[in-house]
Structure 1
């Protein structure tokens, strides 16, 4: 029997049915969910409120996968840009795991693990003076923003738990 195919009792008759990997909503009422190619359930089959805490926000500049981002008021519109420890008011509100071009919709993650970072060392991760980046070094110049972003769990993963920023005098 092929993967994602099940035997189901329908009106007293055993019937072969296929599992649904991605739900389209009410049209899939009563369907059996199936795992996707990664061996996980797609978020579309989960109840509302289960899954990553994200928002789709227009990028006002190109973003690289793994960038820490700042949500800001761009002419009365919500926009997202790279967070930057050199400028007060550009603190990190979340991160992106996929590259996004300027003007495109970015999926911003507000919690969870940023798996698109590199060269992390064990311990706390701070917003850096290189826009969009985080590392173990604490910015120290006058006017820099010190913001703990979370904790590195491997060289390529940071458990994002943003803290309030502090501007150095």
Structure 2
């Protein structure tokens, strides 16, 4: 007789699934962080003018205004330049109330330092830009920046 006995079944042990929930949650958090959600559905043509002196923008405290000709998503009849704030097309006279509503959507600690970023089509009329800037002054939002595309060969 021998001291060592051979196992009779030769079966594989079951797979340990104790770490499976950890792996699933790690994947979930990775995709939540890595996914970029689009905020606005553009209804305005927006080909930005080039500039040679640009800097990075902190988007957490920024509200965007788009100005330009109507684009694909626009269902109205206007052929002149239009103003879009968020997902809404607004008249120039409604800019003040619409922008203040967008600022209140920011986190409370960022509302006092909100920046308004104008994304203006390069072929937009300057009159509507002037009117929008006047409305922003009346709304007491003096921090206005213009968004451009980077281009080193501007004349």
Q: Could you tell me the TM-score, scaled by structure 1's length? A: 0.25
| Max Rg structure | 2
Q: Which has the larger helix fraction?
A: 2
Considering Cα pairs closer than 8 Å and 6+ residues apart, tell me whether 1 or 2 has the greater RCO: 2
Q: Could you tell me the TM-score, scaled by structure 2's length? A: 0.26
